Amino acid sequence: MILESREPPRRLFSELEEVRRLSTLNTPTGPVGVFSFLDVTSEELTAACQRVVLLHGVQDPGNVGTVIRSAHAFGSGVALSKGCADLYNPKTVRATMGSLFHAPVSRELDSLEILGQAHGDGFATVAAVPAGGDVPRSLPDGRLVIVVGAEGAGLPQEVVEASWARVTIPSLAASLNAAIAASILLYEAYMRVLP
C-alpha cells in the first residue's frame, strides 16, 4: 500500500519487531509508513471532483474504506459526515487498499452544510433511499453528490429533503450495506461520463 502514495512516507518502519509493535494486526506483513494527513477541505473536494459520495453516519470502518476504494475506481471524491468512522482508523486505511492516496476525502462535515455548499457550486444532489426513489439509471449527468446513509439508520429525513432527488437500488435483499450501495451508484454515475 505504501507504494500507492505519490509522496514518500515521513517515516518508514521495516524491521520486523518495529512492524509488529506498530501494527494492529496479529501477523503484520510489509513495512509501516507514517504519512501526513491526506484529507482535504470541502471546498477543495468540490473543486477537484465532478462526482462526490457523501457518507452520512457510516460507522463501519470497512465500509468507509471500501467506499473510498470505489470512489478512486470511478473517479470520484468522498465526503464523510460527523459520526462516520475515522478516516485514519487502521481498518479504514486497510480497506482502502491504497486508494486513500488517490481519491480526495473530506471529513467531519455537517451533511446539511455540505449539501448547501454543493448546491451553490452547481452540483445536483441525490439521496439513496430504501424505497420510493428513481432507478439508478436516472442519475443526472454532470456534477453530482450521491448521499448514502448507514445500513441500519439510513438517512435522516432532513438530509433526504435537502437533496434534490431520491434514488433506490432495486434489490431482492431487504437492504444493501452502505459500501455496496455507494459502489453501485458511483458506477452508475461514472458510466454517464464515459466516451
- Could you report the per-residue pLDDT of 23-53, keeping only the tens digit for each? 777 777 777 777 788 899 999 999 999 999 9
Q: Calculate mean pLDDT across residues 51-57.
A: 97
CA 67/CA 63 separation, integer angstroms = 6
Beta carbons within 8 Å of 143's beta carbon, 6+ residues apart: 50, 51, 118, 121, 122, 123, 124
Instruction: Mean pLDDT check: name the lowest of 37-41, 74-78, 191-195.
Output: 191-195
Residues 46 and 104 in one domain: yes
Query: Do 118 and 66 share a structural domain?
Result: yes
pTM of the model: 0.90
Give 4-17 pLDDT, tens digit per residue: 777 777 778 777 77
Are residues 79 and 156 located together in one domain of the fold? yes
Give the range with max mean pLDDT: 14-28, 68-82, 88-102, 133-147. 68-82
Q: What average pLDDT does the segment 138-161 reach?
A: 92
Domain match, 52 and 18 both = no
**CB burial class (10 A; 0-12, 13-18, 19+) of residue 107?**
buried
Contact 100, 126 (CB under 8 A): no
Q: Which domain range does residue 19 map to?
A: 1-36
Q: Say yes or no: 79 and 118 in one domain.
A: yes
Residues 17 and 51 occupy one common structural domain: no
Kindly state whether residues 51 and 83 are assigned to the same domain.
Answer: yes
Write down the pLDDT at residue 25.
Answer: 73
Q: Are residues 167 and 124 in the same domain?
A: yes
Whether 17 and 90 share a structural domain? no
Residues counted in the chain? 195
User: Do 21 and 85 belong together in one domain?
Assistant: no
Q: How many domains are contained in the chain?
A: 2
Say which CATH number the domain at 63 has.
3.40.1280.10
